[in-house]
Chains A and B, each alone.
Chain A
Amino acid sequence: MDSTLIILGALALSSAAATVAGCAEDLESDVGSQSNPNSQVQLAPQMGNIHRYFNKAISGEPVSYGLYVAVAGTIAWALMNIGMSTIFALVIGAGVAAFIHGVYAVSAYLGRIVGQSQNFGQPVYLDVVITHLGPIVGHGFIAVFCMLLAAYLATSILGNPFPLPLVALIFGITVGAIGSSTGDVHYGAEREYQKYPFGGGVPVANHGDIDIKAEIGIRNGMDSSYFCSKLGGPLTGLTFGLIVFLDGWRGIVGGILGNALGGSLISKSIIAIIVGIILVAVMVCLNRLVEVYARKKYGPYTDR
C-alpha cells in the first residue's frame, strides 16, 4: 500500500484519539474541579459557601497529566519490550496511571477540605469522595489511554524519533495546557457562576461566591461535567485533535506537493512550513471575525 495513505490513516486515528483524550481530560477536570477554577472552590467556604464540589488541585493540570501519561507510557513501553502485545501493554499502562490518579485525587480532596474544616466549617463529605471517584478515574483512564495510543502512533508510524514515554509526557503536558486554557474557562467563568447574568465576566468582588445549588438539589461536580460536556469538553477535544491533525497534515501536503515539484526534501519541507503559516494566518482571521462579532453583538458598557 502507498506509504502516504498509511501515514494519513495513522494521522487520522491519532487525531481522533487526541480528540477523545482532550474531551475526556476536560470533563475529568470538571468533575474533580482541578486547575484554575479550583481556586474558587477553595475560596468558597471562606466566603460562607459550604459546598459539595470535589476539590482536587493536585498540581497544575499540565504537570499532573504529564505525570499520568508518562507513567502509563513508561509501563506500556516496558511491557512491550518484554514481548507483550501492544494493545494490552497500552491498556495496562493506562490502568496503572488511573490507579495513581485515584490515589492522588483522594489524598488531594481530603487534604484540601480538612485544611478548611476547622476555620471555615467545610465538612468532609465521604459520599462525595466515593461517588466522584469513579467518574474522575474513568474519564482519566479514557484520556490517558487515548493519548497513549496517539503517542504510540506518533513513535511507530509518524516518524517521531522520541521514545514512547517522552512523547507521552509531552502529550500529557500539552493536553493539560489546552484543557486548562479552553474547556476550564467554561467551567470556571460560567458554570461556577451561573446565578449571575450571562456575559458579565466575574468581577473580583464576586470571587468565591460560587453556586452551591443545582437545577435540583445541591450542586456537585458531576452536574458540572454534564453542563460542560455541551461546549467546554468537546471544544477542548477539538483543539487537541486539530493540533495533532494539522501539524501532521501540513507535512503530508508538503510531501505530496513536493513530489509534484521534483521531490527534493528541502522543497517538501518548505511547502510544509508555508502551509503551516497559511493555517496560522487563517486562525488570525477567524479570531478577528469572532472578536468583531462579539463587539457588535454584545456592545460596550454605556452606563458608567
Chain B
Amino acid sequence: MVIGLLIPFVEITLAGAIINASVHFVPVGGAPAAMATSTGIGTGTTQLAAGAGFTGLMAAATMAAQNGIDIFNPLHWIIILLSGAVGSMIMLGLTMLIGQLIYVFGVGVVPAADKCERDPITGDYQKSYITPGTTGHAIPTVCFISGLIGAALGGIGGALAYVALKQLGFSSEVAGIMAVGFFFMNAVLASYNIGGTIEGFHDPKFKKIPNGIVASFVASLLTGIIVVVMSLGI
C-alpha cells in the first residue's frame, strides 16, 4: 500500500523537475522573434512548451490506453514515456522546421544565433549573419537540437505525471486534466526563471536551470502530497 503510493509520489515530483528543465531547452524568442528581431521561435515560453508537451501527453495516453498495456510493468512504463517523448519531438520539430521555412523564404533572413560566436554543433560563424540592430533570427541548428531535447524531456515529464496519476487510481479523464494543469504549473515556473527569451542550452541564461528545477521540485512535492491525499479519498 505504502509502496503503491510512494512510487507515484516520487514519479510526480520528478516529472515536475523534468518539465521545468525541458522548458529551458526550448528556443523561444517571444514577440521579438515574431518580428525576426531575436533568435528562436516567435511565441511565449510556456505556450510553446505546453503545445509540445500536450501532444506528447496525448501520444502517451493513447499508448497507455491500448489493450494489453500494464502501467505497472516497467517495460510498458518505458514505452509510454518514450511515446510521449517522440510525440512531443514530432510536434516541436515540425513547428521549428516550418517556422524556419517562413523565416528563410517569407522573411528572407539567415538563421543566426546571437549567444554564440560559432554554432557549437555545425561550427558555422554566426555573428556576421545577424542583421545590425537585432539579436539574431530564425532557428540555427544548435537551437533546433536544443528544442528537440526540450521537447523530448517535456514529453517524458508529461507522460510521467500522467502515468503516476493513473497508478494512483485516477481515471484517464481525470488524470489527463490533472496532468495538463500540472504541466502548466511547472512550465510557468520555468518561464519565470527564464524571464522572456532563451536560445537553448548555449544561452548564458541556461545556467539558471538549477533554480528552476529546485522550484519545480518543491512545487511538485506539494502537488504530489495533494494528489496522493486525493487518491485516498480524503
Q: Which A residues contact B (CB, under 8 angstroms)?
A: 35-37, 39-40, 60-63, 154, 158-163, 166-167, 169-170, 173-174, 176-178, 180-186, 188-190, 192-193, 198-207, 231-232, 235-236, 238-239, 242-243, 246-247, 250-251, 265-266, 269-270, 272-273, 276-277, 279-280, 283-284, 286-288, 290-291, 293-295, 298-302, 304
**Does the CB pair A201–B69 fall under 8 Å?**
no
**Does the CB pair B37–A203 fall under 8 Å?**
yes
Which residue of the partner chain A has the closest CB to B176?
A162
**Does the CB pair A201–B42 fall under 8 Å?**
no
Which residues of chain B in 79-124 are interfacial with respect to chain A, using CB atoms and an 8 Å cutoff? 79, 82-83, 86-87, 89-91, 93-111, 122, 124
Which residue of the partner chain A has the closest CB to B76?
A266
Picked from B34, B75, B95, B177, the residue with its CB within 8 Å of the CB of A35 is B34
**Does the CB pair A269–B79 fall under 8 Å?**
yes
**Shortest Cβ distance from residue A206 to the other chain B in the assembled complex, whole angstroms:** 8
The total of Cβ contacts below 8 Å across the A-B interface reads 272
Chain B residue numbers with a CB within 8 Å of A176 are 47, 51
Chain A residue numbers with a CB within 8 Å of B66 are 159, 265
State whether A173 and B47 are in contact (beta carbons under 8 Å apart), knowing that A182-B98, A273-B82, A280-B148 are contacts in the complex. yes
**Does the CB pair B107–A201 fall under 8 Å?**
yes
Chain B residue numbers with a CB within 8 Å of A204 are 32, 37, 133-134
Picked from B36, B93, B102, B106, the residue with its CB within 8 Å of the CB of A283 is B93
**Shortest Cβ distance from residue A81 to the other chain B in the assembled complex, whole angstroms:** 14
**B-side interface mostly:** helix
**Does the CB pair A183–B111 fall under 8 Å?**
no
Chain A residue numbers with a CB within 8 Å of B103 are 185, 189
**Does the CB pair B90–A36 fall under 8 Å?**
no
**Does the CB pair B98–A239 fall under 8 Å?**
yes
Q: Which B residues contact A (CB, under 8 angstroms)?
A: 30-37, 41-44, 47-48, 50-52, 54-55, 57-59, 61-66, 68-69, 75-76, 79, 82-83, 86-87, 89-91, 93-111, 122, 124-125, 128-134, 137-141, 144-145, 148, 172-173, 176-177, 180
**Shortest Cβ distance from residue B153 to the other chain A in the assembled complex, whole angstroms:** 14
State whether A184 and B47 are in contact (beta carbons under 8 Å apart), knowing that A170-B180, A276-B89, A279-B90 are contacts in the complex. no
